[in-house]
A and B are shown apart, each in its own frame.
Chain A
Amino acid sequence: MELILEKGRLDDWIAALEGWQAFAPSQEDEVWGYRPTASPVRLDHPNTVQPPKNFAFPQREVFFRFEQVKGEPPRLTPVEPDAARNVVFGVRPCDGRGVVRMDTVFSDHVEDSFYLGRRKNLAYVGLACLKPASRHCFCKSVGGSPVSTEGLDVLMTDLGDCWLLASATPVGETLMQAAGALLTEPSAEQRMELARRHEEALARPQKSAVADVGNAATRLKDNFDSPLWEELGKACIACGICTYLCPTCHCFDLNDEVSGGKPLRGGRVRTWDSCQFPDFTMHSSGHNPRDSLGSRLRQRVSHKFRYFVENFGTPQCTGCGRCVSQCPVGIDIVNVVNRVCASV
């Protein structure tokens, strides 16, 4: 389904989405992030600081609550994931592809009821990147494209005075149908314009590119013991920026948070975690399988470009460039992959 929305009517469409809570990028203290929509929604944002992964995989999530009176068995109360229906506007295609990768992880082997519980109530309305959202974009080199609909329910393309909305899933169609008369059939010129703009976007070079993503997994395997890892990892300060801002990083921690002692009361809480944190893999004994900065950088990069490929046939990285642009010390995953893969 491809339909036209006048530029000025976006808010009306959002208003027409009954039963959906809408989110779109906005700025708070100059930080671009997905927040409940406030009129007018403009969709003129660069890459948001964080990808929209919070919607299905919030940074903090309670799985169940427990209560235990001394001498009695504990009582557990499961928590159900928030059932609100959320629609997120302005999602870049790289982040859309990130959603797919997250879906893969949380459905593989056993289904994560919390992730999927949220996910099934989530819709993503994407925004085609007619020009790169940042100088660090490299989606094309990792199998993506600035107009990809992967993971998105609708893709919006800016045609100058109007948006062209293309549905990519049945949910997307539902969303568009809710707009009713707001949406009109595109003209032939508009269709041609769309094609032209998409082609242009695809042709536009990105400043950054993974050299040979197809062979990256093999090359990374070959160079697992390369001294380059320690060399490149030396600059790393072991913060969580690259992983917390990544649309596909899913590692987490589970802890009991206690909020009362008479009776014992609390909950089991999932919080994000990062393989870049020093104690992420540390055993209780103090033994740490990945105890150096280099080994942790290797883990992150290998996971994105090798392990995920080995398991699911595609790189996990979607080329959004956040880990590059936000790294405090300028570690560039593209550079790392290219250098390691190129080394002998």
Chain B
Amino acid sequence: MSKKRTGVFVCHCGNNIAATVDVARVAQEMAGEESVVCAKDYVYMCSDPGQNAVIQAIKDNQLDSVVVSCCSPTLHEKTFRDNARAAGLNEFTCEIANIREQCAWVHKDRAKATEKAIKISRSAVRRVSGAKSLEPIGIGVTRRVLVIGGGIAGIQASLDLANAGLEVVLVEKQATLGGHMIQLSETFPTLDCSQCILSPKMVEVSRHPKIKLMTYSELQEVSGYVGNFKAKILKKPTYVDPEKCKICDDCSQVCPVVVPNQYDLNLTARRAIHIPYAQAIPASYTLDIKACLGLNPVVCGKCKDACEAQAINYDMQPETVVEDVGAIIVATGFDLYGQEKLGEFGQGKIEDVLDGLQFERLCSASGPTKGRILRPSDHTEPKDVVFIQCVGSRDPARHCAYCSKICCMYTAKHASLYKHHVPDGRAWVFYIDIRSGGKGYEEFVQRTMEEDEAIYLRGRVSTLYQQNGKIRVMGTDTLSGENVEIDADMVVLALAMQPSAGTAEAAKVLKIGRDKDGFLAEAHPKLKPVESVTVGVYLAGTAQGPKDIPETVSQASAAAAKAIILLSQDRLTHAPTVAQVRKSHCTGCEMCVDACPYEAIHLENGKAVVNDVLCEGCGTCSATCVRAAIEVKNATPMQMNQMIEAVLGF
């Protein structure tokens, strides 16, 4: 490395800087720096003539580095780096000294501000004197996307991606697509049938040539980095060949094992060999190995005998496949807050206290009661149904602090549906307040109150218990100030949405952050709401936070769009200001490996190796290494040392 030839350009910014800082003096002081061969000041450096002057000066003085003392780098770093490049310099040898926001605008004393501007400029000059020319790191991309979760978010994202021409691998843990949405009866506020609108999309997914659907599968491991992930997926055996299965139900008929049906929220039972519901995609039976008596014809083997299509294969083995993808969309959805945690509401032990999804099944034409609302305990029609909102949510002391956002709406829907089914029944709704932001939402709630005559009580339910075949609900109506006691036939709890169990697993596998409530953390709450902190991993649906269907679909499409944008490039570029290892100094102690937030460092033959693509250049490794064996390019300890000296008047 020979001595740098640096040019310094000090901007007046009209009077913005020059009013407080003696810019000519700054330039003059910089001219006295060892590496500086030209130092100029100009009224508006970022103006066309100013920029041209920079370019010209670079050429005239054969500069190899540039410092512009001006406004914040957020404003014009790119401008001047572009100039540098235009003049044939490497852009990474151009640095900005911020003497406006961090100096001229915050000080009045001209002498002191000028001194400070000199220090800031000098530290930039020293920094740049140690700067190396760097080239952006290019990464090839795999134009395939992994979508995790086969609910509406995953389905929507997959279809958008596939229709844009990208290959999609859609992984779903359950034996069928559909997620929670397929369990719903009708959807607010339009009350259209959930299955009716979702099923066609599911079919489209299953038939789409660009989509590889992997149900009954779990993501196990993800390695690699943006554009080049490797996903290891475990395909659990269904013991039924979907190609051969005719969904004739002969197998289920002979199966001796009866277990609760989770699809119906345990309101019904199914056999060990089963299909979750008639329209399941893929249209094939699954043998629930946990329930099955054993895959041994000697033990049982009834289903295999019964299957004329010979679709049942007991020898099916778990299979691990590795998929190369360039981007990942996480749509792992939600679970409802556990009833067992609600002591005051019977801990889930009272049969006629239902959660929202169970009530959806009761309302659903394909549900356990074929669309009739009946008490699970005695199959009678409930006449007094109490709906309780905000159960498990908005309760930082005991449960979730956050508002689950959609409960107001689905409770209104439930009350409304109930009244449609049982016009002479009474629907009582306990609420704290009504949050009905959304197109047509408030009108829907009003209709429920006014047209469907649901009785809304503003207050909390303190407890409920079983008494004489009824459920006594003890509540308060805070508007009247009176205690309310209702002998209800049925109680429906609007339980909070919480991130699904699979969300935590996915976050772990993908090394993406979660917020304090366990929802996936977005890279920026405002500006990067669908990006995760890991580049190339996007978020969609309720895994990221409570939301309703339209919002989920929008976010899924947004995530898909982000992935499409990412993968529309032939090569991705990555900032070259990454960590580099001084091999001779590395002892392989792995401190940097542990400290790296991006898992960008690993050991090879006892020495640390940085994966340039994963490294974001934060420098935590460098501050952690006690051996000075790792440093970030162009922010090296040597440069930092020089800057410290400059700041202290050296």
Contact = CB atoms under 8 A, between A and B. Distances in A.
B650 A260 contact: yes
A70 B32 contact: yes
B570 interface: no
B34 A70 contact: yes
A150 B31 CA distance: 60
B33 A70 contact: yes
Contacts of B646: 261
Interface residues on A, range: under 10
A283 interface: no
B645 interface: yes
**From B29, B34, B122, B645, residue with most partner A Cβ within 10 Å:** B34
Nearest to B32: A70
A207 interface: no
B32 A261 contact: no
A287 interface: no
Contacts of A70: 32-34
A278 to B, nearest CB: 15
A259 B650 CA distance: 7
Interface of A is mostly: strand
A264 B646 CA distance: 12
Contact of A260 (B29, B34, B122, B649): B649
Contacts of B33: 70, 262
A129 B122 CA distance: 61
**From A259, A262, A264, residue with most partner B Cβ within 10 Å:** A262
B650 A69 contact: no
Interface in A206-263: 258-263
A41 B169 CA distance: 90
A263 B29 CA distance: 11
A166 to B, nearest CB: 55
Contacts of B645: 261
A70 B650 CA distance: 14
Interface in B1-41: 29, 32-34
A264 B649 CA distance: 11
Nearest to B34: A70
B605 to A, nearest CB: 21
Contacts of A262: 29, 32-33, 122, 649-650
Contacts of B649: 260, 262
Nearest to A264: B34
A72 to B, nearest CB: 10
A175 B32 CA distance: 55
**From A69, A70, A258, A259, residue with most partner B Cβ within 10 Å:** A70
Nearest to A262: B32
Interface in B98-131: 122
Nearest to A261: B650
A70 to B, nearest CB: 5
A258 B32 CA distance: 17
Contacts of A260: 649-650
A284 to B, nearest CB: 15
Interface string A255-283: 00011111110000000000000000000
Given A260-B649, A261-B646, A261-B650, 15 more contacts: A69-B32, A70-B32, A70-B34, A258-B650, A259-B650, A260-B650, A261-B645, A262-B29, A262-B32, A262-B33, A262-B122, A262-B649, A262-B650, A263-B32, A264-B34
Interface of B: 29, 32-34, 122, 645-646, 649-650
In order of increasing CB-CB distance, the 3 nearest A-B pairs are A261-B650, A70-B32, A260-B650
18 contacts: A69-B32, A70-B32, A70-B33, A70-B34, A258-B650, A259-B650, A260-B649, A260-B650, A261-B646, A261-B650, A262-B29, A262-B32, A262-B33, A262-B122, A262-B649, A262-B650, A263-B32, A264-B34
